[in-house]
Structure 1
Amino acid sequence: MRGQTNLIALAVALVLLTGATVVGVTLADSALAGADRDPVERHAATAVADRLTAADSRITVRANALNATAVDALNASRLSDLAPPATEGDVRVALDGATIVERGAPGGGTTVRRAVVVRSRSAPITTLVNLSRRSTIRLPRGVGRASVTLSPGPNTTIRSVRANDRVVLSDGAGLNTTATIHLSRFAPTTLRVDAGANATGRAEVTYRRPIVDERVLTVTVDA
């Protein structure tokens, strides 16, 4: 009787040992597979993030500064063109957690983060210049161009428009036009319309104010 009990106990022990061995091997295989996959995912995610934020990227205005319009136009096809490593698995690109483009359905994978700024422009802002007082207007830093409309009144001649003492529009016979002027984005600009004393008419300047938002770009690759 005791011998039969020992045989039963030995059989149970063998079954448990075999099961533990199978489970251990399975877990080891899974761990090795995950270890092999993680470097591939990390390399791909890092390469995509680096490419999207590079100074010469088609969606940046400089390194780590994204153009909001280009970001809005980003899709899976353009992402693959911009960053070929994005084809190495399912990919998601997000800003502050909001997905902007996704290919496939990444359920896990590896995520790489980059601190970026997103540059956009305000709605058009129009400011009137008081010709009778020879007033000036000041445009904020970051405004690279503006539209100037000049409509002089009777007995008024507008000969030039200056930006920080640099002549940007000029006509000795008089200006009566709408024109785009190009400005330095690296400093505020003071515009002055040169008209004679007691000038009448209308002068207006239209521009878009730059908007810069700090964001976190995340790239997830699930290979």
Structure 2
Amino acid sequence: MKRVINMGRGISTADRIAEAGRRLFNSKGYAATSLNEIAAEVGISQGNLTYHFPAKRDLALRIEADARQIAQARRKNLKPSSNIAEDYVEHLLFAMSLTWDHRFLFRDRTQFGSGIDVRNSESELTADFDELHTLLKRIAAAGMFRQDAVTDLLILTRAIWIVSRYWMDYLSEFEGREEITWKDQERGIEHHYAVLLPCLTAEAKRDFRAALTRAPRQPIGNGTS
């Protein structure tokens, strides 16, 4: 029997369609998911769906706008603390969570993203990269890098960002994962740290390890994302 998404009262039809689309695009892929499948998931006719989203690309762009809004809301309320390591881990975990919950946006972009410039001022990819770069500048200013380590922060930012950016793709494509646990988060961070930690002083390494230990043990995604 087909499962129909029921998100309760007060949720608009467009929101229900966007949630169903996000789930199916993530699990099946953008190209392999039809508007008819999404309509069936929501429990509406395809005509009702196309009233809200005339084309599949319109739906993908709406989901992308939702992801951007989540990231912008976090960034708007972000208040750096005195603990650089904890701020760094929070940034990393949030980025991993958002990437997993909206992984089709990254994986399938060439199929619907024609004309989208990820380098523009509103791109959350750019904002995430810039936030990482700023965190590394804070680490440098605090004297947490080894004196004999590579000091080109832009190159280090690129290397770390690339490793973190493709971790979710690895889990999905190489391991077939549909649910992410805290252990998976830790594995992803270990790969991230494998680039960062060799550049840090012994004391800074301990700080970053401790920050990871204190981070909330909560899986990202919701199992069917």
| TM-score normalised over the length of structure 2 | 0.27
More helix, by proportion: 2
| Bigger fraction of residues in strand | 1
TM normalised by structure 1 equals 0.27
